[in-house]
Structure 1
Amino acid sequence: MTMTTNSKNTILLLVTALFLLLGACSNNGEDTGHEGGNDQEMKEEMDGMDHDDMNHSSSGEVPEGLKEAANPTYPVGSKAIIQDDHMKGMKGAEASISGAYETVVYTVTYTPTTGGEKVKDHKWVIHEEIAGYGEEPYTSGDEVVLDADHMEGMKDATATVESAEETTVYMVDFTPVTGGEEVKNHKWVTESELSPAE
């Protein structure tokens, strides 16, 4: 009788564990839009996760040939408030300026070299992060090869330039407003995406 009770308890535990495992898989599918979601939901999820996969921090190294800004609005060491939300927890965070550079910034659309969905309107890639760049800036519709590695599968990917703007770009340190570790040397934030810290 004892053996039968123990056997029943073991089977019950195994079945419960199996249901929990299947439930977790099912929930994961719903969250990503890959299970039971329509194509539009999946597209929105993929667009939405664009910058969440970024390498938030960097070594602080910048591409060769990138010129420091002579008189930036936000000098190195000053504070500013980030007004854009490239990544979760970024908008509203106080940033410490760790670099200021004059260049052309691009939004680009590309398919990662690691496979997966196309990344649309990625902000930002700078002129000096495009393989074989020359003096002249690229324009909307140009096809380029990326030399940046902000995200997995970005480096060496073929991209289409969606927009181009000559401006000051900043490398910044900030702590996400959602909590977590400080992000060091984040690339890039444009001048229009910052406001003075009070």
Structure 2
Amino acid sequence: MNQLTLMTRLAFGAAVGALALTSCAGAGDDRAAPESTPTQDETTSDTSDHEASAHEHDPDGGPPPEGIQEASDPRYEVGETVVLNADHMPGMDGADATISGAFDTTTYSVSYTPTDGGEPVTDHKWVVHEELEDPGDAPLAPGREVVLDAEHMSGMDGAEATIDRSTDETVYMVDFEMDGMEMTNHKWVVESEIQPDN
């Protein structure tokens, strides 16, 4: 009986010790674990996703929307070569471009959730007043909710959006090359995002 009691005590002690060691090891692992940070592969993937999103723009932007007024006295004429000073998408800032249209209207930066289930888009530059469904008189105030009638990107047409800000600068369509892709009638670039091609 003494032998059985001794063996039981030894077995019990070993089990308690093992549990204690496991518990300490787990606590030590939790304290020593570094905070999660993106790996280079994850960072590259994020960059690729951003670039892929930028390339969702149709290379041919198509004609200007109905009802928009051609600019009466634009600083940059149709056919003029300019340099873009805008970073709406990778490869755009500093690119040489040719003006393909110049218009007088109100232009908006908007935030919206794409209709195709894509991630919310904030501060999208730009949509013009004529690309909004039944907007009323321009300019619309920041915070105003609107429905987009534009197809610059997938999931944009018919999306509910919020006006972030507006400008009455002359707005342009431009042709340019971005990462080997020819973009024609790209919509839109406002005058302050263009500089002369010296």
TM-score by length of 2: 0.73
DSSP-derived class of the 1:133 partner: coil
Determine the C-alpha separation between the residues in 2 that align with 1:123 and 1:54.
14
How do 1:101-116 and structure 2 match up within 5 A? 101-116=103-118
Instruction: State the one-letter code of the partner of 1:197.
Output: D
Percent of pairs with identical residues:
47
Determine the C-alpha separation between the residues in 2 that align with 1:77 and 1:107.
26
**Structure 1 residues 54, 192: closer, same or farther in 2, change over 3 A?**
farther
Q: What CA deviation, in whole Å up to 9, does each residue of 1:58-85 have, x standing for no partner?
A: 2531111100001100000111100111
DSSP-derived class of the 1:108 partner: strand
DSSP-derived class of the 2:75 partner: coil
Q: Which runs of 5+ in 1 are unaligned?
A: 1-25, 34-43
**Structure 1 residues 58, 134: closer, same or farther in 2, change over 3 A?**
farther
DSSP-derived class of the 2:170 partner: strand
Determine the C-alpha separation between the residues in 2 that align with 1:28 and 1:125.
34
Determine the C-alpha separation between the residues in 1 that align with 2:53 and 2:98.
20
TM-score by length of 1: 0.73
Aligned counterpart for 2:145 among listed residues 134, 143, 146: 143
> 1:54, CA displacement in angstroms?
3.6
Q: Which residue of 2 aligns with 1:196?
A: 196
Instruction: State the one-letter code of the partner of 2:104.
Output: E
**Structure 1 residues 65, 117: closer, same or farther in 2, change over 3 A?**
same
Determine the C-alpha separation between the residues in 2 that align with 1:56 and 1:150.
7
Instruction: State the one-letter code of the partner of 2:195.
Output: S
> 1:50, CA displacement in angstroms?
8.8
Q: Which residue of 1 aligns with 2:12?
A: none
DSSP-derived class of the 1:182 partner: strand
Q: What CA deviation, in whole Å up to 9, does each residue of 1:147-192 have, x standing for no partner?
A: 011110000000011111111110001112xx40321111101000
How do 1:115-126 and structure 2 match up within 5 A? 115-126=117-128
Q: What CA deviation, in whole Å up to 9, does each residue of 1:106-153 have, x standing for no partner?
A: 111111001132111100011100011223321100000000111100
Determine the C-alpha separation between the residues in 2 that align with 1:166 and 1:126.
10
Q: Which residue of 2 aligns with 1:163?
A: 165
**Bigger CA radius of gyration:** 2
DSSP-derived class of the 2:168 partner: strand
Determine the C-alpha separation between the residues in 2 that align with 1:49 and 1:180.
13
Q: Which residue of 2 aligns with 1:128?
A: 130
Q: What CA deviation, in whole Å up to 9, does each residue of 1:30-59 have, x standing for no partner?
A: 6445xxxxxxxxxx997x559614414225
Q: Which residue of 2 aligns with 1:89?
A: 91
Any runs of at least 4 consecutive aligned residues in structure 1 with deviations exceeding 3 A, and if so which? 26-33, 48-51
Asked if the contact 2:129/2:138 (under 8 Å) is kept, the reply is no
Instruction: State the one-letter code of the partner of 2:188.
Output: W
Asked if the contact 1:50/1:122 (under 8 Å) is kept, the reply is no
Q: Which runs of 5+ in 2 are unaligned?
A: 1-38
CA root-mean-square deviation: 2.4
Q: Which residue of 2 aligns with 1:71?
A: 73
